[in-house]
A and B are shown apart, each in its own frame.
Chain A
Amino acid sequence: MAKQYDVLFRLLLIGDSGVGKTCLLCRFTDNEFHSSHISTIGVDFKMKTIEVDGIKVRIQIWDTAGQERYQTITKQYYRRAQGIFLVYDISSERSYQHIMKWVSDVDEYAPEGVQKILIGNKADEEQKRQVGREQGQQLAKEYGMDFYETSACTNLNIKESFTRLTELVLQAHRKELDGVRTRASNEMALAELEEDESKPEGPANSSKTCWC
């Protein structure tokens, strides 16, 4: 227990410039929101330790520059990540369209078994909305990802989405540790197996579970 954390994960935030990646992160780690952030050049870092299912997880979050030109550089960081947030802005159709490109980059450069989650940010800007909630859900479903609409401004679903991705990574990681050879897609089987191992605080098996 002397250690400050039990396990360390690296999560990465990617998505177009200006969708609010840095804002999401600041809200999550410092509970702060500034409408005028300085642009991220290259990569920035934050860290937070959270407890998921009784496990202290230290998460390092890598916050990347969104401009396409920088992707040659930021792609290099994909392989160091265990979990990836794909972020678009609900008031920007273009940022949503680009998610497909971001996903294909992830598929190409990230390690196998990397956990992904789709985020539609700026949910507070309802009057400027260009991307419907169901569009986000649909896309997430297509790629087999969880989906959250978030707002760093009003603190909507921030903790939930970060915790959810951490949970997913933890599940994938545990499986690896326990040597359970289960297809990642077969979540029910995994949960059952872990229940069999009688872990009272095993990871939640359903995507609806929120740790709050």
Chain B
Amino acid sequence: MEYEDKAGRPSKPPSPKQNVRKNLDFEPLSTTALILEDRPANLPAKPADEAQKHRQQYEEMVVQAKKRELKEAQRRKRQLEERCRLEESIGNAALTWNNEILPNWETMWCSRKVRDLWWQGIPPSVRGKVWSLAIGNELNITHELFDICLARAKERWRSLSTGGSELENEDASFPAADREASLELIKLDISRTFPNLCIFQQGGPYHDMLHSILGAYTCYRPDVGYVQGMSFIAAVLILNLDTEDAFIAFSNLLNKPCQMAFFRVDHGLMLTYFAAFEVFFEENLPKLFAHFKKNNLTPDIYLIDWIFTLYSKSLPLDLACRIWDVFCRDGEEFLFRTALGVLKLFEDILTKMDFIHMAQLLTRLPDHLPAEEFFACIATIQMQSRNKKWAQVLAALQKDSRETEKGSPPPRH
């Protein structure tokens, strides 16, 4: 059979596939798998007309594939142009921030122009600086204080690893066992902070920085200690600031009322925040609000993760940084406005879901969110309820809860 097949041809004929290939100036990638192979030797030869037909079909496929790849190439070119434009605008924005805004921070930061530019996202090159300025340093933390706290933390790690107890009597209100647990938890959590980035884990370039900041903080604020969620905040700061400044920003950020309420797990105050959130939820998205109520989906279920980590765990990192940008500008209310933005973005889907599907969607947001659409959703959220702003609504609710507390013992949950 084999010899019969080859008999009619000149010796060593090129295979049909080589024939076809010769006619092409380039080989479309997607067709490599389609190339006609020689028929297995144990099968009868193809009739000539069938072989011709197959060759033709193959060439047609190649032409189609070529068209598709040309289209793809054009799309990529457009994408590249788009990226260049974006980079240019980021470059321009960075210039504006560096040359105009940062030197005149005090007078300019609350101007309309700056606020608008701010909303577009702070260029990564100045992001850390802007965050530092916006967060401020109410606590007057110096680099020296950081060094002192870090030295104490290191001492503790040492005494822990050698099993010594010379520090036992210090901070009597925070038992050694708790401290030990907390230091171990830091170690555990560092390995679980943005694990897919592989930069904070043992051996990674930012591992020691993250460890230092969290350790120093537990010495600086033993009354707060280490609470899960903090590692994400510190990690995002580390990506934008050097260690000392990251520590200063970290401590000041956690000192803000909303963060303090959450990280100290002041449950009453957290409930007040949730209640305030629900006021604006109902105002902005009444239908969805009713749907959530009906399904008993309370805000704590999705808000806790978002607020504790300032969205850094639940949103893609670049998007989370843009949320942080505006959070630095607008304060805590922006965290809740962002939450409503998420709900608005997914409103149509959520309305059709039951409890578990909603809870799953909100506690694990899709990996890719359309950034512009998302920010457009956030922009539509009004943080005004019956002429009251966020802070006023929150203050009123806080007053109410204090009064009920005084009037009757707090309800046991």
Residues in A neighbouring B301, C-beta threshold 8 A:
42-43
Which of the segments A71-79, A114-122, A182-190 contacts the partner chain? A71-79
From A39, A47, A65, A69, give the contact of B360 (CB < 8 A).
A47
A44:B308 contact, CB within 8 angstroms: no
Size of A's binding interface in residues, CB under 8 A: 25
- Select A45's contact among B227, B231, B356, beta carbons within 8 Å: B356
Q: How large is the interface on B (under 10, 10 to 19, 20 to 34, 35 or more residues)?
A: 20 to 34
Separation of A41 and B364 alpha carbons in the complex (Å)? 12
* Interface pair A37/B360, CB less than 8 Å apart: no
Asked whether A17 and B185 contact (CB < 8 A) given A43-B304, A73-B265, A75-B413, the answer is yes
A132 to B101, CA, bound (A): 64
Contact status B359-A45, CB under 8 Å: yes
A198 an interface residue at 8 Å Cβ cutoff?
no
A70-B228 in contact (CB<8A): yes
Cβ of B229 within 8 Å of any chain A Cβ, yes or no, is yes
Q: Whole-angstrom distance between the alpha carbons of A109 and B413 in the complex?
A: 8
* B188 touches A (CB below 8 Å): yes
The answer, among B195, B201, B229, B363, for a CB contact under 8 Å with A44, is B363
The answer to whether the Cβ of B54 comes within 8 Å of any Cβ in the partner chain is no
Contact A73 B360 (CB under 8 A): no
Known: A17-B228, A41-B313. A47 touches B181 (CB 8 A): no
* Contact B267–A73 (Cβ < 8 Å): yes
Which one, B191, B304, B359, contacts A41 given CB within 8 A?
Answer: B304
Question: Are B192 and A43 interface neighbours, CB within 8 A?
Answer: no
> Which label, helix, strand, loop or mixed, suits the secondary structure of the A interface?
mixed
Known A73-B265, A94-B181: A65·B356 in contact at CB below 8 Å: no
* Contact indicator B356/A47 (Cβ below 8 Å): yes
Q: Can you list 26 A-B contacts (CB < 8 A)?
A: A17-B185, A18-B188, A36-B192, A37-B192, A37-B195, A38-B194, A39-B188, A39-B189, A41-B304, A42-B300, A42-B304, A42-B305, A43-B301, A44-B363, A46-B360, A47-B356, A60-B355, A65-B228, A69-B225, A70-B227, A70-B265, A72-B265, A73-B270, A73-B304, A76-B300, A76-B413
User: What is the interface of chain B, defined by CB distance below 8 A to chain A?
Assistant: 181, 185, 188-189, 191-195, 201, 225, 227-229, 231, 265, 267, 270, 300-301, 304-305, 308-309, 313, 355-356, 359-360, 363-364, 413
Sample of 13 more A-B contacts, CB < 8 Å, known A60-B356, A73-B265, A76-B300: A36-B195, A36-B201, A38-B313, A39-B189, A39-B192, A41-B305, A42-B363, A43-B301, A43-B363, A47-B360, A67-B227, A69-B225, A94-B181
